[in-house]
A and B are shown apart, each in its own frame.
Chain A
Amino acid sequence: MKLRVLADRCTGHGRCYDLAPELFDEDEDGHCRLLVPVVSGDLEAKARVAAQNCPEEAIVVSD
C-alpha cells in the first residue's frame, strides 16, 4: 500500500500523527511529515485510520 500526503491541503489538525505515529510525524509547524511511504501488514489498517480521520482529506492511500 502506498501513502501520499497532499501538502497544500494539510492544515495541521494532527489527527494522522496522533493516530498513527509509526507512519506520520509533525514538522515544525505541526503539519504532517510522512515517515513511511510504503506500508504493509498491520500498518495498512493504521494508514487507513489516519486517512479516515484527516478533516482535510490530505492523506491519499492507494494499493
Chain B
Amino acid sequence: MTDPESPEPAQEAGSADAVNLFSGEFARCPQPVYRDLVSRCPVAHSVLGDGKVISRYEDVIWALRNPQIFSSEMELQLALGTERPMIPQQVDPPAQTRYRKVLDPRFSKKRMREIEPDIRRHANALIDAFADTGQCDFARDFAVPLPCTAFLSLMGLPHEELPRFLRMKDGIIRPQELVEEEVPDFAAMQALRVQTGKDIYAYFRDVIEDRRRAPGDDMISYLLETEVDGARLTDEDILDVSFLLILAGLDTVTATLECNIAYLAGHPAQRERLVADPALIPSAVEELMRWETPVTAVPRLVKEKVTLHGVDIEAGEMVSLLIGAANLDDEEFGNADAVEFDRARNRHLAFGGGAHRCLGSHLARLELQVAMEVWHERVPSYAIAPGAVPVFSPGIREIRSLPLVWANA
C-alpha cells in the first residue's frame, strides 16, 4: 500500500486469516488491515476465538438487512452489568420494530434541532475554559464532557448530574480505570460493573417515579406516556432503553470527535480546507465517519447456516460485521483509500444499517457538526503536543488522552 493516507500495516493485528480486532495497534491504525481483509480474506477468523469476521460492504449490508439470519439476541448482558437485554439493540424484529416506533420520533432530526443551541453553548463554554492557554487535553476537556451535556439535554436531566453520569458510564465501559489497583483485577472489575449497573437502574427508577408523579415534556415522561399498538412500555422497558442510551450515546461521540481531531491535527492541508470553507464540514464529518469508523464492528449471532465466499458459518456461531472494513471497500467506494471531503457517493455504514440503524445518528451528526464548526472557529490551527503519542482503545476507538497545543492569536 503506497497511498499516503495508509501508514505501514499494523503488525500486531495478525495475518488476514486470523485477525485480532482488540489489539491496540489495530485500534490505532485499522485501515491497512481492513483493506487487506476486503481484498484477500472477506471471511476471517478472530484470534480471540469469538467467531468469524465479515468485511466486504456487500456482505455486511446484506447481513445487517437480514436480522432473521444475523440475530442481535445474544447473551452479552451479564458481561456489561445489565440484568436484561438492552432495548432495542439486543432485540430482533418484530419486537424491535415496535420499540423503534416509540423511540424514533423522539430522536428525529427535527427534534434534535431543538437542542442545537444548547450543544453550541456548551461547546463554546468548554472552549472558554482553555482557549487562552494555548493547550488542552482534547479528550478530557472537550470530547468527553460535550456528549454528556448533550445527553443530559436530550433526556431533560439537570446538568449538575454530569460527574455522576461520567462515573456511571465509565463503571460499565472501563471499570479497569476506576478500580484502584495496579494490576487489573478481573473480579473487582466485574464487581464494579455489576454495582454500577445497579446504580444506573436505581437512578433511572427514581427518575421514572418522579416523572410519573409530575410529567414534563422530557424523554422519560414521553416514554411513560406513549402507546404503540395499544401497549405502553413497562418500567423495565424504560430502564433497559435508558441503560443502552448511556452505553451507546456517550463514548461513541467522544471517540468520533477524538478520531476526527487526531486526523486533522496530522493532516494540516485537510484541516486548512475545513477552516477556509466551513460549508464542507457536514460532508467532511461523513467522510471522516467512513474513514475512521469509530465503532469498528457490530456483533451478530447466526441463526441458520450460511456459506460466504466458500466459508461455512454454522447456526449458533458469533460473527463480527466489520463495518470499518466495509467502509473501505473499493467496490462500493471508488478510491476508498483516499479521504475526500467532497466525496459524492458515500453510503458508509458507520452508524450501522437495516433495522438497527443507530437510533442516535441524528443527534450524533448534530453534535459532530456543531463541535467541528465551533472548534475550528475558536481554534483554527492546532497540533498534537510534541512527544504525545495518542493511544486508541479497541472496539470503540477512543483516545484517552489527546494533548493539543496551538499558538494564540
Contacts and interface: CB of A to CB of B under 8 A. Distances in A.
Nearest to B110: A26
B235 to A, nearest CB: 24
A14 B109 contact: yes
Of the four ranges (under 10, 10 to 19, 20 to 34, 35 or more), the interface on chain B belongs to: 20 to 34
A40 to B, nearest CB: 20
Contact of B347 (A17, A28, A31, A53): A53
B362 interface: yes
B13 interface: no
Interface in B57-99: 61, 65
Given A28-B105, A30-B104, A55-B349, A49 B344 contact: yes
A22 interface: no
B282 A18 contact: yes
A17 B361 CA distance: 14
Interface residues of A, number: 18
B299 interface: no
Contacts of A31: 104
Interface string A35-63: 00000000000000100111111000000
Nearest to B103: A29
B108 A28 contact: yes
B107 interface: yes
Contact of A13 (B61, B282, B357): B357
Contacts of A56: 65, 353-354
Given A11-B355, A56-B353, A56-B354, A29 B348 contact: no
Nearest to B104: A29
A24 to B, nearest CB: 12
B61 A55 contact: yes
Contacts of A53: 345-347
B110 A55 contact: no
Nearest to B357: A11
Nearest to A29: B104
A25 to B, nearest CB: 10
A30 B349 contact: no
Contacts of B105: 28-30
A29 B359 CA distance: 11
Contacts of A30: 104-105, 107-110, 362
A18 B369 CA distance: 13
Contacts of B109: 14, 17-18, 26, 30
B387 to A, nearest CB: 40
Q: Nearest 10 CB-CB pairs, A to B?
A: A30-B108, A52-B345, A29-B104, A11-B357, A55-B347, A55-B353, A28-B105, A14-B109, A30-B104, A29-B105
9 contacts: A11-B357, A12-B104, A14-B361, A18-B109, A29-B105, A30-B110, A30-B362, A49-B344, A53-B346
Given A29-B105, A30-B105, 19 more contacts: A13-B353, A13-B357, A14-B109, A14-B362, A17-B109, A18-B109, A26-B108, A26-B110, A30-B104, A31-B104, A49-B344, A52-B346, A53-B346, A55-B347, A55-B349, A55-B353, A55-B357, A56-B65, A56-B353
Interface of B: 61, 65, 100-101, 104-105, 107-110, 282, 344-349, 351, 353-355, 357, 361-362
Interface of A: 11-14, 17-18, 26, 28-31, 49, 52-57
